[in-house]
With several copies, the nearest count.
Chain A
Amino acid sequence: MPATRIAARFEVRYTRLLDAEGKAAGPLPGFARDPAALVALYRAMVLTRTFDAKAIALQRTGRLGTYASSLGQEAVAVGAAAAMAPDDVLVPSFREHGAQLWRGVTLHELFLFWGGDERGNDFAGPREDFPISVPVGSHALHAAGVALAFKLRHEARAALCIFGDGATSKGDVAEAMNFAGVWTLPLVFVINNNGWAISVPRAAQSAAQTLAQKAVAAGIPGEQVDGNDVIAMRAATEAALAKARAGGGAHVIEALTYRLSDHTTADDASRYRSDAEVSQRWAEEPVARLRRHLEGAGLWDKAAEEALLHETAATVEEAASAYLATPAQAPDSMAAFTYAAWPAALAAQRAWFAPAPAGTEG
């Protein structure tokens, strides 16, 4: 045996199925030959972007809290969610409005949540999906727990967890991937690599050439996908989820996209990146790309576009109005869900929620 030998080899593949012009870069997957499927993806991305614009408008006028836009990243969220089965579980970060909407979270619920009302997390639709995770990366472990639950119950279900490029630096994510690997969990991690973590560019986040290779540390496969290509996103996620549900274990998908907006409505990205960089990335954005593809395939035209925009705007406006018309809950509701039942030992504390004594002020 020689003094030195290769003990292990790895590679990370990159896939894009539609180029920036919306032209197929090779054979497309089956669903991409189904017009209804393609149009559904397109509608979902447009809805997401319309919601986004409305949320920002509401925030700017003081009627919504700080909001994280998903502008330019719609294909990541929609493509991944579209690959899920209804009884899979989504464990999202805070920029996956498109995924939540696809899963059946309502616009009204999203507005409520971002408007500062926890009822927005009590999804009427996907009851098992997690609410968004504000502490970056911490939810990756919940996804591992959910996937472990499926495995222990021998259910053919999978968990899908999404987080950003910044999140990959967190130990939680590394631990979650390691659990997923060693226990062959039905769990797909999607990294929304939008190039930035607030002001920190991807290159300052890690020396790893790709973020997909975070998977290597956990002994699971990792791949890169063009995150502005919703067809590639859905195809890759579908394959990974199918493998996961079949007992084949976990998978990491790094979706390469770009954050076209500020980090949140509280951020001013012009402090740390140039307009030129942003403009350039508009050429790659996913909504126009799929529209061009649909147009090229004769599935879409100006009239369809106008009708959709009109319909979507109306839907979003209606939900926004309903949100704005929803009164806040009574203060006592704060204690309603702290425990399954408010402890008798703390009964007196609830006096705090009684209406302020009239006629006095501080």
Chain B
Amino acid sequence: MAALTLVQSVNLALARAMADDPRVLVLGEDVGIDGGVFRATDGLLARFGPERVLDTPLAELGIAGLAVGLAAQGFRPVAEIQFSGFVYPCIDQIMNHAARLRTRTHGRLSCPMVLRMPAGGGIRAVEHHSECPEAMFAHMPGLRVVVPASPARAYGLLLAAIRDPDPVIFLEPTRLYRAVREEVADDGAALPLDRAFSLRPGADITLIAWGGMVPEALAAAETLAAEGIDAGVIDLATLKPLDMETVLAEVARTGRCVIVQEAPVSGGLGAEVAAGIAERGLDQLLAPIRRLAPPDVVVPAPRLETAYLPDAARIAAAARETMAYT
């Protein structure tokens, strides 16, 4: 068992899936000899050859559409989009085709593809490189949306995504690619695709996060603990379908919650979480549901990025305010 970074565990899961199943293909821009701009596909070309690892021309729309055709033919394409800011040309193929090929043909054809990409900010990247597109995808029936927040969860969730018979959007938090190392066993064990992870129990308040915000929420919980506030942390991990049962169970216990979202506030995934609690957990609430998310502005250029992103300090402050509500 090795201590791996998140990007290494993505690489490990890809290699594992390819070794296990000859139908699994990797394709995308620079995924071959370059090993991907973040090295997520490093070594795969050498190991599996150019018929399993395909460097594509520069065409995201095309990559998505190709994957639909490959998947309909029984392959399990795992396509990489270089940054989530370049996934928008794929939306038409994902919405109009990938997510509904099974529905349209009453199961005759299906689309077991994975579209994986780095997502989110925190790396002071140039414009268009810090997007959080999860909410768009989480509104598309027929799709699954998965966002791992640790190396081990990345491994297990990516294996599950690749094995799933339906299309999966797999968003890898760029800022976590090399942030921490974790022991990851290459045991081929997938994680469930519809289960949130309760990372830390908490009696007083529940912090709900996903992707790059999870470590911030955990840090905030530490801070709060030192102040005598017992905050629990949930990593949603699978954003579609969303495991509201876990969320509702935790929030029912604490009666208070902060939903942490990196994307601009309006219409983000946090709204769905809040709505789900408001519909089914209202009676247990001791304080208003709190969403912590940046304003409705475009992710700023790097110099102002820190002022844009939610962080542990802001999460802790929001939790304190929510605790203060009576």
Contact A179 B265 (CB under 8 A): no
Q: Mark B86-117, 1 if CB is under 8 A from A, else 0.
A: 10010011001100001111111110000000
Cβ contact within 8 Å between B35 and A179: no
Q: A138 with B65: in contact, given A146-B72, A166-B57, A360-B317 (CB under 8 Å)?
A: yes
* Number of residues on chain A facing chain B (CB within 8 A): 83
Q: Does A142 contact B104, Cβ atoms closer than 8 Å? A: no
- B313 near A171 with CB under 8 A, answer no
Known: A119-B106, A131-B104. A65 touches B126 (CB 8 A): yes
A253-297 vs B, CB cutoff 8 Å, 1 = contact: the mask equals 000000000000011000110000000000000000000000000
Let me know if B219 and A362 touch, CB within 8 A: yes
Judge whether A121 and B219 touch: CB under 8 Å. no
A166 vs B86: C-alpha distance when bound (angstroms): 14
Which residues from B are CB-within-8-Å of A138?
A: 65, 92-93, 96-97
**A338/B103 in contact, CB under 8 A:** yes
**Complex Cα gap A199–B181 (Å):** 28
| Measured CA separation A339–B73 after assembly (Å) | 17
Kindly provide the distance from the CB of B23 to the nearest chain A CB, expressed in whole angstroms.
10
Q: Does A25 contact B (CB under 8 A)?
A: no
Complex interface: chain B residues within 8 A of A197 (CB): 29, 58
Give every chain B residue within 8 A of A198 (Cβ-Cβ): 29-30, 34, 37
Q: Is B67 an interface residue (CB 8 A)?
A: yes
Which residue of chain A has its CB nearest to the CB of B166?
A339
Question: Which one of A50-58, A299-307, A350-358 is at the B interface?
Answer: A350-358
B313 & A331 in contact (Cβ 8 Å cutoff):
no
* A343 and B66 contacting across the interface, CB-CB below 8 Å: no
Asked if A171 contacts B303 (CB within 8 A), the reply is no
Interface-facing stretch out of A76-84, A122-130, A235-243: A122-130
Most chain A CB inside 10 Å of its own CB: which residue of B166, B300, B308: B300
CB neighbours of B64 from chain A (8 A)? 141
Question: Are B300 and A334 in contact, with the CB atoms below 8 A?
Answer: yes
Binary per-residue interface labels of chain B (70-91) against chain A in the complex, 1 for a CB within 8 Å, 0 otherwise: 1111110100000001100100
List, in ascending order, chain B residues with CB within 8 A of A199's CB. 30, 32-34, 55
Give CA–CA (A135, B102) in the complex, Å.
17
B1 within 8 Å of A by Cβ? no
**Contact of B18 with A by CB under 8 A:** no
Decide if B33 touches A145 in the complex (CB within 8 Å): no
In the A-B complex, the 7 residue pairs with the closest CB atoms: A145-B69, A141-B65, A362-B313, A116-B302, A362-B312, A149-B73, A331-B307
- 12 A–B pairs (Cβ distance < 8 Å), ordered by A: A65-B124, A137-B58, A141-B69, A144-B62, A199-B34, A205-B57, A334-B298, A338-B296, A340-B165, A340-B166, A361-B223, A362-B216
Q: Does B154 contact A (CB under 8 A)?
A: no
**Shortest distance between the CB of B238 and any CB in chain A (Å):** 8
The verdict on A349 contacting chain B, using a C-beta distance below 8 Å, is: yes
Minimum distance in angstroms from B112 CB to a CB of chain A = 9
Given contacts A127-B108, A134-B126, A339-B166, contact A141 B302 (CB under 8 A): no
Q: How far is the CA of A138 from the CA of B65 in the complex (A)?
A: 8
Q: Mark A101-134, 1 if CB is under 8 A from B, else 0.
A: 0000000000001111111011100011011001
A130-B97 Cα distance, complex, nearest whole Å: 11
Please state if B62 and A331 are interface contacts (CB–CB under 8 Å). no
B288 contacts A by Cβ under 8 Å: no
On chain B, the residues within 8 Å of A328 by CB distance are 303-304
In the assembled complex, the CB of B301 is this many whole angstroms from the nearest CB of chain A, namely: 5
Q: Are B108's CB and A271's CB within 8 A?
A: no
Residues of B within 8 Å of A200, CB to CB, are: 29-30, 55, 57-58
Given pairs A115-B302, A118-B300, A338-B142, 5 additional interface contacts (CB within 8 A): A176-B62, A198-B37, A338-B103, A349-B265, A362-B317
- CB pair B61 A118 closer than 8 Å: no
Q: Does A321 contact B (CB under 8 A)?
A: no
- Bound complex: CA A350 to CA B313 (Å): 18
User: In angstroms, how far is the closest chain A Cβ from the Cβ of B177?
Assistant: 13
Q: A138-B96, A331-B304, A338-B102 are in contact. Are A145 and B29 (CB under 8 A)?
A: no
**Which one of A143, A171, A338 has the greatest number of beta carbons of chain B within 10 Å?**
A338
Query: Is residue B188 within 8 Å, beta carbon to beta carbon, of the partner chain?
Result: no
Using known A-B contacts A360-B316, A360-B317, determine if residue A335 contacts B295 with beta carbons closer than 8 Å.
yes
Flag if A206 contacts B57 (CB, 8 Å). yes
Give chain B interface residues in 136-175, CB to chain A under 8 Å.
141-142, 164-166
Nearest residue in A to B109 (C-beta to C-beta)?
A: A130
Q: A349 vs B244: C-alpha distance in the bound complex, in angstroms?
A: 13
C-alpha spacing A310/B218, complex, angstroms: 54
**Looking across the interface, which residue of chain B has its beta carbon closest to that of A94?**
B126
From known contacts A116-B124, A144-B66, A360-B313, infer whether A149 and B74 are also in contact, taking CB-CB under 8 Å: yes
Report whether A118 and B104 are in contact in the complex, using a CB–CB cutoff of 8 Å.
Answer: yes
A145-B72 CB under 8 A given contacts A65-B124, A337-B106, A353-B307: yes
Give the shortest distance, in Å, between A324 (CB) and chain B (any CB): 12
Q: Restricting to B18-50, which residues have a CB under 8 Å from any CB of A?
A: 25, 29-30, 32-35, 37
Q: Is B245 an interface residue (CB 8 A)?
A: yes
B114 to chain A, nearest CB (A): 14
Q: Is B204 an interface residue (CB 8 A)?
A: no
Which residues of the partner chain A approach B97 to less than 8 Å between Cβ atoms?
Answer: 135, 138-139, 142
> Roughly how many angstroms separate A163 CA and B296 CA in the complex, as a whole number?
31
Instruction: Report whether B245 and A145 are in contact in the complex, using a CB–CB cutoff of 8 Å.
Output: no
CB atoms of B104 and A121 under 8 A apart: yes
| Structural contact, A145 and B71, CB atoms closer than 8 A | yes
List A residues 312-355 near B (Cβ within 8 Å): 328-329, 331, 333-340, 343-346, 349-350, 352-353
* Bound-state Cα–Cα, A339 to B241, Å: 11
Q: Are A142 and B65 in contact (CB under 8 A)?
A: yes
Residue contact B34 to A141, C-beta cutoff 8 Å: no
**Which of B86, B103, B223 touches A362 (beta carbons < 8 Å)?**
B223
